[in-house]
Amino acid sequence: MRQLEVFNNDIPVGLLTEVDKRHYEFQYYDDYLNSLLPAISFNLPKRKEKYTSQHLFPLFYNMLPEGANKKCICMNARIDERDAFGLLSFFAGKDFIGAVNVRNPRNVQSIRQ
Domain segments of the chain as ranges: 2-103
Q: What is the pLDDT of residues 13-32, one digit of tens each?
A: 999 999 988 899 999 999 99
Residue 41's closest CA among 13, 4, 19?
A: 13
Return d(Cα 3, Cα 112) in angstroms, integer. 14
Question: What is the model's pTM?
Answer: 0.84
Q: What is the pLDDT of residues 27-71, one digit of tens each?
A: 999 999 999 999 999 999 999 999 999 999 999 998 888 899 889
